[in-house]
Amino acid sequence: MAKLNFCRRDFLGSLLGGAAGLSLARRGFGQAAPTPIQATKLTGHIALLSGDGGNIGLIAAEDGLLMIDGGYANRALELQKAVAERDTHPVKLLFNTHWHGDHVGSNELLGKAGVKIVAHQNAKFWLGRKVTMEAFNSTVEPLKPEGLPTKTFIDGGKITFGKEKIEYKWFPNAHTDNDTWLFFPAANVLQTGDLFFSGAYPVIDYSTGGWIGGMAEALDKLLKVGDAQTRIIPGHGPLSSKGDMQASRDMLHTVYDRLDTFSKKGASLDNVLKANPVADLEPKWGQGFLNGERFLRMAYPSIAKHAQLAKSGGTHRVSW
Ligand SMILES: [Zn+2]
């Protein structure tokens, strides 16, 4: 496969539709006709915006808006129009759940306008440099300086935005090494970023610290946030319940246990693909976003990559 080089605006769509040769048309993740941006009201002042990129949380205060993630860069203006249709106040704060281009596409547009951008310090690290993503045989260019986070954190924190008190927390190594989830206790809404792909196999970016064991553990942790009624904004997929999350958690643990057995025997990726240890999961999980083969090509190498990372001192951390 030719090595591809593209900017972040086409990030996940290009990775999955072009570079990795996947068909995502059914789920509308950045291929063919763009999926219209749709808004779903969750409470009087919280909405979910969805389109081609990752899901977006929008929180309204009396004097401005908080956006959690920002879709693709090539739809950033369209997204701002959709936001303005809901609320004419300006976006005051942008939060990035992690560094991927289908979530940080509004950074440059809003950063240029002086909007503060908050992200985990590792997200800023990856956003500021060219990143080679081995699983996709691709490189991603750095954001322009105005799109970089203006405030970073290490473990998490709390924001009070308007009437909403929001807790946010980093999960060390799962989808990447900079995944952050946010919980709105009063509204009982949880936004997971890409720690949770609802109803589909998740992307695992092992080149920036992700691994399947972490994805499975992250859902163990997130299942304990809130209660049985908590409404969940996943990174991708529809507004979800704890039941949906439990199903993903069970699938990920099953796959991890099976792959770990192969890994301990020293099996090669080709051996694993030949054995196809996800054949029984395919009807439920492999029909839309990633098929089983593509998922195994990310999930299996992620185990060895994580072991290497652990040996070299754990997750990537930078002081800013
Ligand atoms: Zn992602």
Average pLDDT over residues 85-106: 95
Mean pLDDT of the chain, nearest integer: 89
Whether 130 has a pLDDT exceeding 90, the answer reads yes
Measured in Å, residue 294 CA sits from the centre of ligand 1 at 15
Measured in Å, residue 307 CA sits from the centre of ligand 1 at 21
Measured in Å, residue 62 CA sits from the centre of ligand 1 at 31
Average pLDDT over residues 74-84: 94
Q: Which two tokens stand for residue 243?
A: 């039941």
Q: pTM of the entire structure?
A: 0.89
List pLDDT tens digits, range 293-303. 999 999 999 99
List pLDDT tens digits, range 218-277. 999 999 999 999 999 999 999 999 999 999 999 999 999 999 999 999 999 999 999 999
Measured in Å, residue 295 CA sits from the centre of ligand 1 at 14
pLDDT bracket for residue 35 (50, 70, 90) = confident
